Amino acid sequence: MPDSAPPPNPLLQSWPGPYGGVPPFDRIAPAHFPLAFDSAMAEHRAEIAAIANNAEPATFENTVAALEDAGRTYNRVMALWSIYTSTFNTREVQAIDLDWQPRFAAFADEITHNPRLFARLEAVYASPDKARLTPEQQRLVWKYHNGFVRQGARLAADEKAQLSAYNQQLASLYTRFSQNELADEERRHLVLEGPEDLKGLPASLADGYAAAAAEKGLEGRWVVANTRSAMEPFLTFSERRDLREAGWRMWIMRGDNGDAHDNNAICSEILQLRARRAKLLGYATHAHWRLEDAMARTPETAMALMLKVWPAAVARAKAEAAEMQALADREGAGIRIEPWDWRHYAEKVRKAAYDLDQAEVKPYLQMDRLKEALHWTSGELFGLRWSPAADVPTARPDISVYRVEGADGALVGLWYFDPYARKAKQSGAWMNEYRTQERFRRPVAPIVSNNCNFVPGRPGEPVLISWDDAVTMFHEFGHALHGLISGVSYPSLAGTNVARDFVELPSQLNEHWLPTPQVLSRFALHARTGEPMPEALSRKLKAAETFNQGFAVVEYLASAIVDMRLHLEGDKPLDMREFERRVLEEIGMPREIVMRHRIPHFGHVFGGDGYSAGYYSYLWSEVLAHDAFKAFEEAGGPFDGATARRYCETILAAGDTAPPEQAWRAFRGRDPDPEAYFRAKGFPVSGAA
């Protein structure tokens, strides 16, 4: 009897199930991907050849629309692969990724460097018939043409070959960088041996560390993982200064330990290759290439904003450090405030100045209740309704899925929530887009996810998170809303496919709804008593909004300035440690603060091109976000219906159908005003002029 045929590769099939299909996480494994990559590439290559070799004159429909419709299998496979490399990045996945990333880069260049294809695209771009297209179609033509040109479509054949070689080398380096960063997060951790090591830690935090230890087979001990969500609360509450220093040093030295996972040489090589690529493409530096189609347009404009904010932030941070030093002196601690002391003494100052103790706040911040707050807020603002989608497979039982409906009951999309830290998952918090909204050939509902790294507590106990983590939940949910509420025809223009320094506007604006009385009174419920947060405590939170903002802005902005300076250096080799030290010295970095992301673990910048020369985007978008929330306040309050509808129509639903500055003016009626940002930080408003 002949052997039965192997089952079909689930990655190459249309997604089965309800909601227009869902990812078949119950059927796929890493071993499915290599064959799927080969097959999907071959299919996409044939689609491109059919468009490029079409004998008919180039039109929007047979060229641009055809390009938009091509590569659906490939895009579907790659969407799932991005989920695996960020959330299930096992050794098997890492090996596949290291092998395939250069091939993905070469394949992308194969498309953009196809001369017949670009000739047809350019014909549509230059045709007088373009004026008869809809505004969205004209924007799509521009986006394809601009993208092809920026990726080297006009270069000579030998220049294209060189450019592709750079891109393939960079793809390998990005993968190695990210895998090294993950390795240092997974293989290094701080072990607390006994009760004396727990001094100062809230019980809920200690329970989480005990659970982390049990996962590593260290029962009876406690483990502080080398991740932000585990380390920052330890640095805040631990009274063991020696352990704070040990944990802090471990955390800030990721990728910088002079071993097999050291990223310094990789960073230098990435910078040189980026500079050479930019020069080949006709740009002065990588920063000039990256910002050309951003809202800021030039590195000089972005740097000007950063340097406008920097002096005020440093002045505030120095005042904050002086307050902490004075408190330590009054305690008779006999210490000089160091970076591993900052969060600990900041918490003491907060308690003394505002009678606000984060340990008092945390019992009101239950992760599940805050998840409900996200859903409720989106319903009040945008009419969204949320319900569990029990008929959707997930890769793990602790990942939940929700059906999202509009006020009319129609399906909007699906939202996956992956909240917990685990081995093989990258640290931090982020939003993924599994499927992009469109109305091109047929209506397609988007599928998005939010991913966090919370430390689970004891079974059956609510997971309590910090105020900063609650803010992060609202931030990342803003990205999810951007993907879900999208209402455009073409997927390339949908949702978060906007300029890098505009994409953070919805996320940073969404943070503003967390501290509102409407949210806190309903969802900040005590984990033990179920009582809502007392009004007196919420008033303390409000009064302390500008507390420690010097530190927060300095640690972020130092990273953003170093990022931009790195990418303005050209292609000369750099010593990463020396460069970081020199730039921070030049700008007057306070000695008590370290960059939020030091160069060797700056994944935003060296894990891919995404935020390279673009980490300033968070500041740029935050200025917009504060100004946008001011529009709600001017209209009568944070839940003003008319303002929410205008924001939804001009920003969230519009995607990239218009340039970002045009979308902003459609919402706000004028150019951005940084005054609200300066006021929110407690900085002198004169700096906004």
Distance separating alpha carbons of residues 365 and 600, to the nearest angstrom: 33
- CA angle 491–497–501, rounded 5-degree value: 170
User: Which residue is it, tokens 């949320």?
Assistant: 386
Phi, psi of 453 (to 5 degrees): -135, 50
The answer to whether 209 touches 223, Cβ cutoff 8 Å, is: yes
- Three-state DSSP class for residue 433: strand
Phi, psi of 133 (to 5 degrees): -75, 160
Return all residues near 671 (Cβ < 8 A) that are at least 6 apart.
661, 664, 665
Indicate the DSSP class of residue 4.
P
Q: Which two tokens stand for residue 327?
A: 């408190």
Integer angstrom CA distances of residue 313 from 345, 480, 566, 587: 19, 30, 22, 12
Name the residue among 514, 422, 565, 410 with its Cα closest to residue 20: 410
φ/ψ bin of 31: left (φ > 0), alpha (ψ from -120 to 50), beta (otherwise): alpha
Exposure letters 2-11 (e unless 16+ CB within 10 A, then b): eeeeeeebbb
Beta strands in 148-218 (DSSP E): 189-192
Distance separating alpha carbons of residues 544 and 549, to the nearest angstrom: 10
Exposure letters 536-559 (e unless 16+ CB within 10 A, then b): ebbebbeeeeebbbbbbbbbbbbb
Q: Which two tokens stand for residue 675?
A: 């005054």
Distance separating alpha carbons of residues 254 and 246, to the nearest angstrom: 13
Distance separating alpha carbons of residues 596 and 557, to the nearest angstrom: 8
Exposure letters 311-334 (e unless 16+ CB within 10 A, then b): ebbbbbbbebbebbbebbeeeeee
Return all residues near 578 (Cβ < 8 A) that are at least 6 apart.
none
Strands 430-435, 400-405: pairing kind = unpaired
User: Which residue is it, tokens 């003394």?
Assistant: 352
Distance separating alpha carbons of residues 678 and 337, to the nearest angstrom: 27
Q: Within 13 A of 516's CA, how many CA atoms are on the CB side?
A: 21
Given the residues 47, 476, 580, 592, select the one marked as catalytic.
476
> How many DSSP H helices and E strands does the chain contain?
27, 7
Distance separating alpha carbons of residues 679 and 561, to the nearest angstrom: 22
Annotated active-site residue 476? The verdict is yes
Chain centre distance of CA 260:
27
- The residues assigned a catalytic role are 476
